[in-house]
């Protein structure tokens, strides 16, 4: 097998027959040896799919339009597995010994959490991309001619999003002008590495890249902020600043929309967190596929119904933020993965629950205005970023975070109710990350 550009990216070879660019190409990953010959393996190329899509090579077989027939075939072919023969239970099926429930021809390689279908690599690529296309079409995410910024962190979600979106844009003629938009928080060893990934994406996918930095926008890098306030609460700064930074970058690019790589797991997690925090304002909008339509630049999430498992397996890649303790979010995430194991549909069901929440009409919702200082959307006099910056610049970095001395007393706690109370008391602050 020819060495792939990213030997760790499972199904994303560096050179594909269709001439596609490599999906991901992180530096200095050790080359892995190919699995032994004669075994079913998925590592390497995507020949069948790529050849079938090439205009010069019309597909020899067209299995994808007959799901029902294929289903029957595959059910039959699965029957002998795991079944008892002469009272002796057969050992579990080996890798790839079951057939794909979609095409009925190739060996299954993946169990889709969303549908429990067992499908092969080639069919996985088709359904993965088709479902995202369907989500885009069904929700009218874009208009022809739209300028669209892809919020690109260099992580797996946004990198897969950049690749899939540029691919779908070509294939289905969306006529979109796509841009990569990155925020440089100034975190040495984390963001500088992931920005390298984004710079490679710029070249690989031929998408113009704009990077906006906290240093330029706010005069502070995250490294500076952590030096000033320590590791607790730094995610509040980062979250608030990033949200604004993306909007400002998008304004500079004069785009009509921002797309982000939030996936189904992310949204289910956010639904749970908003319930746990009692944050009804966010609960009601966190499941919207498009948000901020009343604002200058709406945002949308084409991966709203895409499981993280499939995004990870599409190419494999992940990078971790070295500053994120974020334990509370972590618990919700772990809970979601527990649920997924028991009942994979749970993730979609939580999103559905979030969508169907109705807030009683007597509940007062926060009103949205603009920040007196910078003009950014805010439900308070000053937006959260301005409050946080005030604190940093005045040497009171805890300003706007959790309880502070003389306000609520007691030991410091970052519970959101206390945070909300503090905002009300000081008439400061607005959006939490």
Partner 1 sequence: MHLTLEFGGGLELLLEKSIKMHKVDVQPIDGQEKVMMKGLLSWVKSNLIKERPEMFLKGDSVRPGVLVLINDCDWELCGGLDAELEEKDVVVFISTLHGVL
Cβ atoms of 66 and 102 closer than 8 Å? no
Instruction: From 41-49, 283-291, 408-416, 419-427, give the range in contact with partner 1 by CB under 8 A.
Output: 41-49
Of 228, 319, 348, 432, the one binding partner 1 (CB under 8 A) is 319
At 370 the three-state DSSP class reads strand
Number of residues that bind partner 1 (CB under 8 A): 49
Structural contact between residues 35 and 15, judged by C-beta atoms closer than 8 angstroms: no
Terminal alpha carbon distance of the chain: 46
281 is an interface residue for partner 1 by CB under 8 A:
no
State yes or no: residue 357 binds partner 1 (CB under 8 A): no
Q: Out of 8, 66, 345, 421, name the contact with partner 1 by CB under 8 A.
A: 8
Paired sense of beta strands 209-213 and 257-259, if any: unpaired
Any bridge partners for residue 119, and if so which? 110
Q: In whole angstroms, give the CA distance from residue 391 to residue 412.
A: 17
What is the rounded CA–CA span in Å between residue 52 and residue 418?
58
Q: Which stretch binds partner 1 (CB under 8 A): 36-44, 131-139, 279-287, 357-365?
A: 36-44
Q: Which tokens hold the place of 59?
A: 């597909």
Binding partner 1 (rule: CB under 8 A), the pick from 40, 71, 77, 213 is 40
Residue 183 in the binding site for partner 1 (CB under 8 A)? no
Burial (CB count within 10 angstroms: exposed 0-12, middle 13-18, buried 19+), residue 114: middle
64-69 LR contacts (CB < 8 Å, sep 24+)? 64/102, 64/103, 64/123, 64/126, 67/102, 69/104
Q: Which of 29, 77, 353, 412 binds partner 1 (CB under 8 A)?
A: 29
343 binds partner 1 (CB under 8 A): no
Instruction: Out of 111, 147, 373, 381, name the contact with partner 1 by CB under 8 A.
Output: 111
CB of 26 to partner 1, least distance (A): 11
* Helix and strand numbers, DSSP H then E, in the chain: 15, 12
CA distances from 28 to 31, 187, 198, 229 (A): 9, 21, 16, 34
Q: Which residue has 């206390």 as its token pair?
A: 418
Please choose, out of 168-176, 313-321, 345-353, 356-364, the segment that lies near partner 1 by the rule CB under 8 A. Answer: 313-321
Residue 297 is classified by DSSP as S
Interface map 227-266 toward partner 1 (x if CB under 8 A): --------------------------------------x-
108, 99 contact by CB (below 8 A) = yes
Q: Can you give the C-alpha Rg of the chain in angstroms? A: 24
Tell me which DSSP letter residue 138 carries.
H
Q: Which stretch binds partner 1 (CB under 8 A): 37-45, 64-72, 135-143, 364-372?
A: 37-45
Tell me: does residue 158 bind partner 1 (CB under 8 A).
no
Residues near 73 by beta carbon (within 8 Å), at least 6 away in sequence: 99, 104
349 binds partner 1 per the rule CB under 8 A: no
Kindly state whether residue 39 participates in binding partner 1, applying the rule CB under 8 A: yes
326 is a contact residue toward partner 1 (CB under 8 A): yes
The window from 241-249, 333-341, 364-372, 400-408 that contacts partner 1 (CB under 8 A) reads 333-341
Residue selected from 217, 280, 281, 321 as contacting partner 1 according to rule CB under 8 A: 321
List of residues contacting partner 1 (CB under 8 A): 8, 10-11, 29-30, 32-33, 35-36, 39-43, 91-96, 98, 107-111, 118, 155, 265, 308-309, 312-313, 316, 318-321, 324, 326-327, 329-330, 333-334, 337-338, 340-341
């Amino acid at each position: 097998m020819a060495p792939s550009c990213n030997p760790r990216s499972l199904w994303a070879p560096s050179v594909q027959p269709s001439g596609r660019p490599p999906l991901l190409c992180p530096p200095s990953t050790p080359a892995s040896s190919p699995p032994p010959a004669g075994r079913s393996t998925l590592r390497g190329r995507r020949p069948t799919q790529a050849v079938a899509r090439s205009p010069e090579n019309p597909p020899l077989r067209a299995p994808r339009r007959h799901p029902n027939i294929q289903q029957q075939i595959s059910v039959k072919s699965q029957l002998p597995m795991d079944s008892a023969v002469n009272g002796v239970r057969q050992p579990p099926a080996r890798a790839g010994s079951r057939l794909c429930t979609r095409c009925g021809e190739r060996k299954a390689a993946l169990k889709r959490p969303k549908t429990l279908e067992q499908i092969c690599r080639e069919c996985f690529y088709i359904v993965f991309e088709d479902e995202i296309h369907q989500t885009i079409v069904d929700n009218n995410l874009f208009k022809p001619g739209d300028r669209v910024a892809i919020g690109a962190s260099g992580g797996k979600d946004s990198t897969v999003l950049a690749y899939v979106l540029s691919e779908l844009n070509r294939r289905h003629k969306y006529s979109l002008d796509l841009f990569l938009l990155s925020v440089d928080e100034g975190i040495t060893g984390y963001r500088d590495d992931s920005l390298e990934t984004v710079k490679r994406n710029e070249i690989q996918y031929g998408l113009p890249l704009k990077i906006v930095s906290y240093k330029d926008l706010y005069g502070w890098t995250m490294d500076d902020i952590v030096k000033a306030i320590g590791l607790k609460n730094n995610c509040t700064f980062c979250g608030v600043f990033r949200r604004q930074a993306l909007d400002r970058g998008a304004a500079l690019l004069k785009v009509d929309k921002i797309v982000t790589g939030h996936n189904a797991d992310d949204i289910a997690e956010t639904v749970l967190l908003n319930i746990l925090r009692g944050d009804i304002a966010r609960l009601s909008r966190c499941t919207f596929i498009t948000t901020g339509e009343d604002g200058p630049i709406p945002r949308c999430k084409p991966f709203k119904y895409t499981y993280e498992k499939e995004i990870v397996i599409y190419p494999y890649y992940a990078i971790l933020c070295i500053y994120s303790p974020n334990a509370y979010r972590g618990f919700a995430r772990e809970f979601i993965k527990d649920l997924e194991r028991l009942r994979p549909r749970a993730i979609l069901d939580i999103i559905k629950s979030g969508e169907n929440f109705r807030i009683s009409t007597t509940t007062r919702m926060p009103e949205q205005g603009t920040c007196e200082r910078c003009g950014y959307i805010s439900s308070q006099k000053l937006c959260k970023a301005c409050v946080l910056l005030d604190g940093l610049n005045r040497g009171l970095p805890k300003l706007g975070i959790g309880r502070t001395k003389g306000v609520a007393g007691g030991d410091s706690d970052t519970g959101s109710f206390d945070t909300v109370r503090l905002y009300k008391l000081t008439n400061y602050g607005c959006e939490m990350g």
